[in-house]
A and B are shown apart, each in its own frame.
Chain A
Amino acid sequence: MSAPAPTRTARPRKPPPGPSAILGVVSIVGITIFAVTWINFSLAPLYTNLTGGWVVIREALQPDWGYLRWWCPADDAGCNPTNRIRLWKALLETFNIAVLASMAGCVLAMGMSLLASSVSAPKPVVRVVKVFLSAVRSLPDIAYALIFVAAMSPGPLPGVLALTIFNMGIVAKLTSESIDAVNPGPIEAADAAGATRWQRARTAIVPQVLPNYLSYSLYVFELNIRASAVIGFVGAGGIGTIINLEFNRGNYDRLSAIVIVIFVVVVALDLTSQTLRKRLV
């Protein structure tokens, strides 16, 4: 530079990196190393066993479109009409399970969420309900499906019940967080007017969280379409039943045809639901 700065002042020393940054990096690396050794994670099969996998993948890359037909071709005498329509019935069942479970779960969730926020419920109740809800949320959907299938018999009803509980956990948590964040003004006004707890919830809280609540409900509906593809694996009805069947038979060409159908259905329903959600919030 052409002119030096007028006076050269002392340079402050660079502070050492914070303990949390170091701790963060160390624990990420540490946990990863631990996890890799614990489950013997190894990418070696990518080289050694690619041929084994490749057979399956190649089959999957040629979907059996004929499997998607819901009618019998005229020249195929051995074709069984009930078998043909089974896939589509299962898909419809998936949709039905998702609708029923999200509606039932969301209705339960509204009540639970009012009990889970200190805005609308007394402190001790809130504490108990919160613990209950996080226990409910800590179990995956498949665990509920296993329980209800074992308790009842395989069929769509255990699926509906399993997803109902699963949905209730998610929607109740999200909605109770929305309730925590509502504008306190209307609540004070309701209190000042001598409203009971119930009146207060109805007039001052529910209307404020309703758009969010409906949006969460649509969100779990989206989740349920995917989830009911999974829970059918353990006998809880829906398209998963068919996936399980063809998986056990090793019909990968059929599986990939089913997957493509699921993909299309999921994308279509997601788009519909997201359009609705955008309108709500």
Chain B
Amino acid sequence: MTEQGSRATAGRDIVFDDVSVVYPNGTKGLIDVSLTIPEGQFVVVVGLSGAGKSTLIRSINGLVPVTSGSLRVGETEVVGVGRRRLRQVRSDVGMIFQGFNLVTRRSVMKNVLTGRLHAQSWWAKLIGYHPPADIEIAFDALERVGIVEKAWVRASHLSGGQQQRVAIARALAQQPSVVLADEPVASLDPPTANQVMRDLQRINRELGITTVVNLHFLDLARRYADRIIGMRAGRVVFDGTGEQADDKVFEDIYGRSLTAEDVSATPTQVSVAGGDPAP
């Protein structure tokens, strides 16, 4: 509570103002993007491969440097800040990756504790110590994704879905106000993908964490998003609710007509599996 309370309470929105990203090789990742993502919103970003979804998400925590414009996370400007300040922003923004990005040789707990690194005091940094309070935070995060019992298991022994939940717990352990997820379900089978998306949604609702997710599957986008942002060639080409995003809109985003496979992960499997297991 104190941890969160000490942060700026007013205006925790993420604000893109005319943001452009040009990669060192000249590729334009983002072109003049202006957006406001209000606190607590669950946003899904869709678009073709190469449209700039990852670039959009990564610019928020400075993994991709913004070349022009202004990008604020809460009260903090991300563009052009020093390393210290950037680490502060990052500590407030959790991130989840398609490939989980766990250190698979270490235990689940060690991986989740990565989320507490920003809170280590200087001497704890030196010897790599985590106080019991941090370990409890990590347990709490694992509890929210339902795999506390795996805490001391080597990460490589978990299934893909479990590994992704460890990654979510790692982000949660940061006690962030924003969670970014770059195609978090792309390496998972459809039922597991639904479960992970439900976890993300529940966390968004329970903790009020602003959540920005890149997705390839349109049905998942419609099902979970408060708001869908469509991207094409580095620009935002659609911005609206799930209901507004009908097939016509998706065709615009993707630049062609869609087939059944495009829209849904695998519709038959999900229904055969008896829909969603009880939350």
Contact = CB atoms under 8 A, between A and B. Distances in A.
Query: Do A and B touch directly, given a CB cutoff of 8 Å in the complex?
Result: yes
Interface residues of B, number: 15
A9 B141 CA distance: 12
B140 A1 contact: yes
A12 B138 CA distance: 12
B148 A1 contact: no
Nearest to A7: B143
B63 to A, nearest CB: 25
A246 B198 CA distance: 78
Contacts of B152: 12-15
Contacts of B261: none
A14 B207 contact: no
A1 B109 contact: no
B244 to A, nearest CB: 30
B148 A2 contact: no
A249 interface: no
Interface in A11-32: 11-15
Nearest to B138: A11
Given A1-B207, A2-B208, A9 B4 contact: no
Interface size class of A (residues with CB under 8 A): 10 to 19
A14 B139 CA distance: 12
B144 A5 contact: yes
B151 A3 contact: no
A2 B177 CA distance: 11
Contacts of A9: 143, 148-149
Contacts of B1: 1-2
Contacts of B140: 1, 5
B4 A14 contact: no
Nearest to B148: A9
B207 A2 contact: yes
Contacts of A278: none
Given A1-B4, A2-B4, A5-B144, A11 B139 contact: yes
Tell me the dominant secondary structure on chain A's binding face. Answer: loop
Contacts of B109: 14
Interface string A124-152: 00000000000000000000000000000
A7 B109 CA distance: 19
B175 interface: yes
Nearest to B139: A11
A3 B143 contact: no
Interface in A162-204: none
Contacts of A7: 143
Interface string A105-130: 00000000000000000000000000
B145 to A, nearest CB: 10
Given A1-B140, A1-B207, A5-B143, A12 B175 contact: no
Given A1-B4, A1-B207, A2-B207, A11 B151 contact: yes
Nearest to B140: A5
A249 B149 CA distance: 72
Interface string B133-155: 00000011001100011011000
23 contacts: A1-B207, A2-B4, A2-B206, A2-B208, A3-B206, A5-B140, A5-B143, A5-B144, A8-B143, A9-B143, A9-B148, A9-B149, A10-B148, A11-B139, A11-B148, A12-B148, A12-B151, A12-B152, A13-B152, A14-B109, A14-B151, A14-B152, A15-B152
Interface of A: 1-3, 5, 7-15
| Shortest beta-carbon contacts, A-B, top 5 | A3-B206, A5-B143, A12-B151, A11-B139, A9-B148
Given A7-B143, A12-B148, A14-B151, 11 more contacts: A2-B1, A2-B208, A3-B206, A3-B207, A5-B144, A8-B143, A9-B143, A9-B149, A11-B139, A11-B151, A14-B109
